[in-house]
Amino acid sequence: MQHCIVIGGSHAAVQLAFSLRQEGWNGNITIISSDENFPYHRPPLSKIVLSSESSVPNIPIRATEFYEKNNINLLLGKQVLRIDREKSNVTLNSGEEINYTKLALTTGAYARKISIPGHNLKGVCYLRDLRDALEIRESMAPNKSAVIIGGGYIGLEAAASMRKRGMNVTILEAMPRVLARITSPEVSAFYTRIHEEEGVTIITNASATAIEGADCVTGVRLDDGRIFKADIILIGIGVLPATELACAAGLDINDGIMVDEFCRTNDHNIVAAGDCANQFHPIYGHRVRLESIQNANDQAKIAAKTLCGKLETYSALPWFWSDQYDLKLQIAGLAQGFDNVILRGDPNTGRCFIAFYFKGSTLLSADCINSPKEFMAIKRLLVDKKTANPTMLSDQSINLVDSFID
């Protein structure tokens, strides 16, 4: 009997296993996950789990019956320590060896660790999995102080959730603005304004040099000597792809597991998908490693087809979202390489606008804040590889779709 082993137990893993059945895989399927929890949605961890007081979050990716119905075997709380490509087997931390005919790597990413003095003190937290979220929530309480190192999406979402629970929140960002790696100065300024309106202190150009405290954290020290007092310190400085297993098995690695357009690694019996995979993107003309639910799901579908012998090129439009306070940000496309930003609406007032990113006359992407209908229309436009008239886009008296160019 053929056997597909899926290493990982999150968005890419569950989608891949399900898609294998949809594509006609008749053999066994085993998902092996080092997370002891039943596969759950990660985005709510920073948005809902941190801000709610209910004890057990109910956020399964699929219901229990789904695995039974599709005859998918789940091994939870088990880590794969080694892949032996010659013997076509994997070794678990329990010592058990399991043979595969095909292997899928959906090992995802883990939080990048900070290495300044005091980094091991109690009260230094990361937010990647359910256990992290529950631990952070446990230590949260009104009027306690949190310092968040890193003003990316995780840091900003956690800040919003912590404010909701009545905490004092300071964000320390090493760059001159929050979200600097990902978005335009206009959108960064908007998020800074909103967080400040909501009571968060944001310090930019802030280089943390030490975490203060004897047993537990008491604060963060910056290179200019300033100290920010804290009961909790959340580190949100990005993630690193989990590639160690693939690397030790001799697979090609370069900021992720290198895969071709069909999600195959350099061993064609092994595919990779999700946060761990680095792939050429035909829309952008270069390799990218994306960290999003959209990408995890879409690559998993392509990888499953590949394992079933149906080769289809990955070409999905990237999209992403972030929820903070009453703001829903929806991003269509990738802004990388933009040379012009067109605004529709005023980010300096109110809480609803769109930032369009152009390279020459080509529309690359759009950040839509509280504009879900517009997001859907722009996504369609980008999927159809069309562009829009920048002058018309910026004029809110003109219907958005009238500025689209066929």
Q: Smaller CB distance to ligand FAD: residue 45 or 220?
A: 45
SS3 388: strand
Q: Smaller CB distance to ligand FAD: residue 88 or 292?
A: 292
For residue 140, report the phi and psi dihedrals to the nearest 5 degrees: -85, 145
Binding-site member from 5, 25, 30, 46 for ligand FAD (CB under 6 A): 46
Per-residue tokens: 62:
């699929």
Q: For the chain, how many residues are written? A: 406
Residue 377's closest CA among 330, 339, 335, 338? 330
301: exposed, middle or buried (C-beta count within 10 Å: 0-12, 13-18, 19+)?
buried
Tokens 């990048």, located at residue: 112
CA distances from 278 to 13, 243, 252, 362 (A): 16, 11, 10, 25
Of residues 312-371, those binding ligand FAD (CB under 6 A): 320-322
Q: Smaller CB distance to ligand FAD: residue 295 or 387?
A: 295
Contact 62, 18 (CB under 8 A): yes
- Alpha-carbon gap, residue 256 to 275, rounded angstroms: 8
Residue 188's closest CA among 42, 325, 329, 333? 329
Nearest approach, Cβ of 40 to ligand FAD (angstroms)? 9
Q: What track of x and - describes contact with ligand FAD for positions 9 through 28 (by CB under 6 A)?
A: xxxxx---------------
154 near ligand FAD (CB under 6 A):
yes
Binding-site member from 42, 102, 289, 344 for ligand FAD (CB under 6 A): 42
Residue 183's closest CA among 322, 374, 371, 308? 322
Of residues 280-299, those binding ligand FAD (CB under 6 A): 291-294, 296
Nearest approach, Cβ of 160 to ligand FAD (angstroms)? 12
Q: Smaller CB distance to ligand FAD: residue 46 or 403?
A: 46
173 near ligand FAD (CB under 6 A):
no
Nearest approach, Cβ of 361 to ligand FAD (angstroms)? 29
103 near ligand FAD (CB under 6 A):
no
Q: Smaller CB distance to ligand FAD: residue 276 or 393?
A: 276
SS3 288: strand
Nearest approach, Cβ of 375 to ligand FAD (angstroms)? 13
Stretch of residues binding ligand FAD (CB under 6 A), selected from 30-38, 117-125, 168-176, 360-368:
30-38
Maximum C-alpha span of the chain = 66
- Alpha-carbon gap, residue 156 to 151, rounded angstroms: 6
Nearest approach, Cβ of 209 to ligand FAD (angstroms)? 26
381 near ligand FAD (CB under 6 A):
no
Residues that bind ligand FAD (CB under 6 A): 7-13, 32-35, 42-43, 45-46, 79-80, 106-109, 127-128, 154, 242, 245, 274-275, 291-294, 296, 320-322
